Amino acid sequence: FHERGRLAVCTCLIAHPEGMSFSDLQRACNLTDGNLSRHLQALSEMKIVSLERHADNGRPTTTCTITRAGRARFLAYVDVLEAVVRDVQRGAASQSDVRARSTIPGLATT
């Protein structure tokens, strides 16, 4: 999920549980045909998305849907990512406190 394109694809599909057409997903993620195809192929092989090919008004269409397992894996990934961001923010806040104390006369930092 860490790659920008796959993150965008999964984020869109989580927001549209009924699925999205290939062309709608391409526009939403701002990806080329080839790039989106490659990401969908990889995500499909990992059972994160399902791809259903059908005819829509006589035109071939692919509907992309996140699987139940894909949804669970993506949400678990987001939870881990949020924890990492919180840790970084705590560390940045601690460093900011140390810098603030070191600029106040009479406060020693250890």
Which CATH number belongs to the domain containing residue 91 in this structure?
Answer: 1.10.10.10
Helix (H) or strand (E) run with residue 27 in it = helix 22-29
Task: Indicate whether 38 belongs to any domain.
Answer: yes
- 8 Å CB contact between 93 and 87: no
What tens digit of pLDDT does each residue of 71-83 get? Answer: 999 999 999 999 9
Return phi, psi of residue 30, to 5°: 60, 50
Q: Of the spans 1-5, 87-91, 98-102, which averages the highest pLDDT?
A: 87-91
Task: Indicate whether 68 belongs to any domain.
Answer: yes
Is pTM beyond 0.85? Reply is no
What tens digit of pLDDT does each residue of 1-42 get? Answer: 778 999 999 999 999 999 999 999 999 999 999 999 999 999
Task: Indicate whether 107 belongs to any domain.
Answer: no
Please report how many Cα atoms fall inside a 13 Å half-sphere around the Cα of residue 30, on the Cβ side: 1
For the record, the structure tokens of 24 come out as: 């709608």
Task: Indicate whether 110 belongs to any domain.
Answer: no
Helix (H) or strand (E) run with residue 64 in it = strand 59-66
Q: If you search the block for the tokens 């990934």, which residue do you land on? A: 77
Is residue 105 over pLDDT 60?
Answer: no
The total domain count for the chain is: 1
- 8 Å CB contact between 74 and 48: yes
- 8 Å CB contact between 69 and 47: yes
Range of the domain at 10: 4-102
Task: Indicate whether 108 belongs to any domain.
Answer: no
